[in-house]
Homo-oligomer: A and B are copies of this chain.
Amino acid sequence: MRNLLMTISYDGTAYFGFQTQPGGNTVQDRLEDAIRQLTGEEVKIHGSGRTDAGVHARRQTFHFVTSSQIPVERWRHALNGRLPSDIRITDVVEVPLEFHSRRSAKRKTYRYSINGNRVFDVFNYPYQLHHPGALNIEAMHEGLAHLIGTHDYTSFASRHSTKQSHVRTIYEAWIEVEKGTGAGSHEQGIIHIYLTGNGFLQHMVRIIVGTLLQVGEGKRRPDDMKTILEAKDRSKAGPTAESKGLMLWEVEYADLSIS
């Protein structure tokens, strides 16, 4: 028996998220189908996290145990030939049997992308929220800083969260603005919001972004982020931003040179 850890990239537009669910076409279903076609095994894969419907991944990971004798270096090509073109395996490594893609992960990074230009970019339409209205990036930066650290993020979690504890740690959070990609002058550019933490609750990044956009629009002050966090009440935060702007950027492990 071998435990294989795989890194994948996918365009989530067509999927009901990563994880298998009743009646939904998910990324996990497509991966398990491909493994079954290749090895004849009925395996259950374990993802490093769930993603919501329509959310994308640049580098997500999953692991599964197999009795197949296929050499490690053959899996990527063999599975990619059995996967749809919006899912690609990019790396495969063998890991110890006790390794778990989610429990062994040290850091996860998500990126949320906002097109702030007047006209959206047709080539990135499925990957960017379009927000042509003026945003105060400085204020958003300031608001975001209040979320760094170890906190109870109940205010920024879905009411449907089933987790026992809503305490998580955000190690880093930053904003990058890509200019010069818009159609005309005086454009806001593309605003990327990055969040790195030890784990994220359901809808957490999207609710943070939805609230931060209100700070950028001047509807809330940067300090409100702190007040909202302390309230531990979902109703104090802003709306859940559209899923299409969100991308699981990276999953990092301590002892492996795999990310």
Mask, A46-68, CB within 8 Å of B = 1, is 00000000001000000000000
How distant is the Cα of A76 from the Cα of B88 in the complex, in angstroms? 37
- By secondary structure, the A interface counts as mixed
Of A88, A119, A121, A122, most B-chain CB atoms within 10 Å: A122
Partner of A88, one of B88, B122, B184: B122
Q: Which residues of B contact A11 (CB under 8 A)?
A: 122-123, 125
In chain A, residues 5-24, which have Cβ atoms closer than 8 Å to a Cβ of chain B? 7, 9-11
Contact B9 A121 (CB under 8 A): yes
Binds B, one of A79-87, A152-160, A216-224: A79-87
Count of identical protomers in the assembly = 2
Separation in Å of the A186 CB from the closest CB of chain B?
A: 13
Q: Per a CB cutoff under 8 Å, which of B7, B87, B184 touches A122? A: B87
Residues of A156-213 whose CB lies within 8 A of B:
183-184
Question: Given the complex, which residues of B lie within 8 Å of A88, measured CB to CB?
Answer: 119-120, 122
Chain A 223-236 against B: per-residue CB contact (8 Å), 1 yes, 0 no? 00000000000000
Say whether B90 contacts A183, CB under 8 Å.
yes
Chain A to chain B: the 3 pairs with minimum beta-carbon distance, closest first = A90-B183, A11-B122, A90-B119
**Chain A interfacial positions (CB closer than 8 Å to B):** 7, 9-11, 56, 76, 80, 85-91, 119-123, 125, 127, 183-184
